[in-house]
Structure formats: C-alpha cells, structure tokens
Structure 1
Amino acid sequence: MLWEQLTANPLIQDSVVMVITLMLALSWLRIMDALAANGILEQKLSRKIIHMGTGPLFVLCWPFFSPQPTACYFAALVPLAITLQFIGIGVGWIQDPDAVQAMTRTGNPKEILKGPLFYGLVFVVCTIGFWRTSPVGMLALMMMCGGDGLADIVGRRLGVHKLPFSPEKSWAGSAAMFAGSFLFAFSFLSLFNRLNYFQPPLVGTVGIVAAIALIATLVESLPFRDIDNLTLTGVAVVLGLWWF
C-alpha cells in the first residue's frame, strides 16, 4: 500500500528513492571507512572494495525510480553528492580521516582527487547519458567496478609475472580484470534485460560483452596511473555504442 501511494506521484517517488539510495551508499562507505580505520581491512584492499561495491549497489537501486524521463537526474544526484564530498575531503574543506584511510594508497587526501573523483564523475555522466534503458552505460560502469577493482586485488597478491610493456601490471591482474569485467557487466545486463528495460531485449550478448571486456583489459593494462576509471570506461562506452 505504501509503495502504491509512493508511485502515484513520480516526483515524490524519485525524491524518496534518491534519499534512500544515498543513505545506502553512504552507509556502505562508512562501513568500509570504519573497517579500514580499525585495521580490519588494509588500506589498499578497502579502497578497491569500495570501488567494486559502491557502483553496483547504486545501479541495483535504479529500478525503484519512476519511469519519468527526469528520474535519471534524481538518480545522478547520488553520485554527484558523494563526488562533491570527495572534492571537499581532497582539498581539505572536510576533515574525514577515516575516509582518507579507506580511499587512498598513502594517506594523502589529495589522492581522492584522482581515481575516486573520476569514479564519481563517470557515474554521474553515464547515469544521465544512458540511464537504465540503455546497456551502454551500465556495461561501462560495471566493467570499471568489477574489472578494475578485481585486477588490483588479484594483481597485488598473485601478480608475480609482470607484463613486458607495463611493469606495474601483471598477467594475473589482467586475467582478473577480464573476468571481473565480463561477470559484472554480463550479470547486470542480464538482470535489466529480464526486467524488460532494454527494448528490444538483448539477444546473444555473451560474445559482445566478452569482446569488450577483452579490449577494456588491454586498455587497463597500459602503463598509465590513476586514469583507468576514465580510459577503460570511455573505451567501453564507445564499443558499446558501436555494438549495441
């Protein structure tokens, strides 16, 4: 009954779902911050768990927004608010030692103005630009979350054999990048396809997702620091527009 009353007014529905989504995202971030601050999670691991978990949690809330064209703007306010928080911490306007501990490699707040900031901006752009009726943005976002996040975690633990053209990257990390990109992207595309958001429904996407994941893996393997969130997502968007 409450949900029926809520959905009767799209403006109220989108406002309420936006607030709930923001609360869920901030709660997830705070949990990870606390685990890192108390030494339960190491700094670099907490950073990548945040990377892998925040985006998917946000996208899983998309179906609860109204079917109105303006719903994407309400949804985009969630990553925008978090991104503004990142900027505030990075430039020193907001003092949040736990967040710095969880989201940086060395404890320098200015690091948040690189990878985490790009992460948030990419989510804002893809949410508004593609939303839930297009597989393109979702594909790119999930490859960034699952692939790039898993690549770092696995690479640091199993990355004994380095890539000849990128000494900071490893074969194990690249394999994890491909697997994470494919699994996250294909799972979310399949879910939203079953929810009938893609019209016409997607058919035979396994090969397409695998091909894009492979190319994104090659891009991620290049010896560039702190811009993976931009480069691999941008490549995935271009390829998604081409193939879908």
Structure 2
Amino acid sequence: MADLQGKTVIITGGARGLGAEAGRAAVGAGARVVLTDVLEEEGRTAAEKLGGDARFLRHDVTSEQSWREVVDFAVAAFGRIDGLVNNAGISGGSHPLEQQSVEDFRRVIDINLTGVFIGMRSVIPVMKEHGGGSVVNISSAAGLMGLALTAGYGAAKWGVRGLTKVGAVELGTARVRVNSVHPGMIHTPMTAHLGIEQGEGDYPTTPMGRVGQAPEIAAAVAFLLSDAASYITGAELAVDGGWTTGPTVRQLTGQ
C-alpha cells in the first residue's frame, strides 16, 4: 500500500465514484484529505465516512474564485498541500460529432479540461513553497485513442494528457510531479447509464474480459501521490484491463 503519512491531498469530484474511492485510499494510506464537489450533500457524507482526517468543500472547478477558496481552506485546515487529484468531470453523453451541440461541447471542455488547468495553476505556488508535490490528472482511455461518440469528452481527455506533459516539463525542477491516469471502462455512477456489469462479462475489446472497479483506479492514484513514485513525472498510466493496448484475439477472429 502507498504511504501518504503527513501529506495533504485535494481530490475534486470526491462525492462519489472514483473521487470518493481515491479519498478512501488516500486516508487509508495516512493522508489528510479535502474532498470537493458540486454535490454538497453527497460530498459531506463521503467526508464524514472517511473520518477526522477528511474535510469537504463545495467547489465549482470552472471558477477561479472557487479554486482560491479550496486552496485557502486546505491550507487553513492542514497547513500545506502535497497532492492534487483532478478527478471532477462529466461524460457529456454519447453523440455523433455532427450532433453534439456547441454548448454541450464547451461545457465538457470547461469542466473536464479548463478545470484541470485552473486547479494545477492554483496549487502550484503552495506546493513550491513546501518543497514540491504531486498532481494526478484523471484522463481516460478516451485520451489515448479515438473513441466514437465522445467528441467533447475525448477532446478534453486528450487535452488533459497534453496539459500533464506541459506541467511535468515545466515543474520538474520544482519537485512538483505531474502524471495522468487513464481509466478504461470502470463501474461508477458516471457509467451506470451504459449498463455495464461488475465482474466478468461480455467485453471482447478488453483483454482482461471485465470492467474495472473504482478501488483499482484509486490504488494507482495513491501510488502516484506517494514518494514511491518520486522519479515518475509526465507519465500516462493506463488502468484499463489492456483495452488501449490493441485488438483482442476475439476481436480479430470473431470468436
């Protein structure tokens, strides 16, 4: 298990799904955690379940002022910021490119990409002041390949991947590491509308033949936040059961 003793970590989109599970993993590894989300009731409940080393703050990731409030809150509560998990995001639905509205496209980009940019920019000065830190940006398998019906989502997740690289290059000497995690099909509230099953199932595109579970992503996030990953920056970690590796035998043979 990753060791996060003494570290303070902000996790956006922390009310449920991957964010809540990342919070659970971080607290379990010894971190003090600030969960943020627009889902206030669910977020407070999630923080209460994590105990005394967790706090919750309502947070709009597209707002610079809201980000300032989160940073100030974390520093006031715990004295420092060592980690940021940019997890907040929306799917934007499944539409052919020609049918996705400009308004919907812009909204997905604003939350899924611009929010990541503002978050990174907001925490960097505090991390530098305390000798470094770790930023983990949650991208997607859709940020490693072209995925049909995800124009806004795919564009945003590719953008997160690129922004991660820029941050890693610029911040390396400041000892601020920046990496991206690329989940495949994961069983969370955001994917519930797709009707995916937990456990083994009919998933011919995934070499492991099943969807992932939130704790499997959270474990990767906790590792990247920890000092065990001290020489890893600018990396893109696919946690996708091999989905983006290439076509499976079943895909190629139809069997």
TM-score of the aligned structures, taking structure 1 as reference length: 0.37
Give the structure with the higher percent helix: 1
TM-score of the aligned structures, taking structure 2 as reference length: 0.35
Give the structure with the higher percent strand: 2
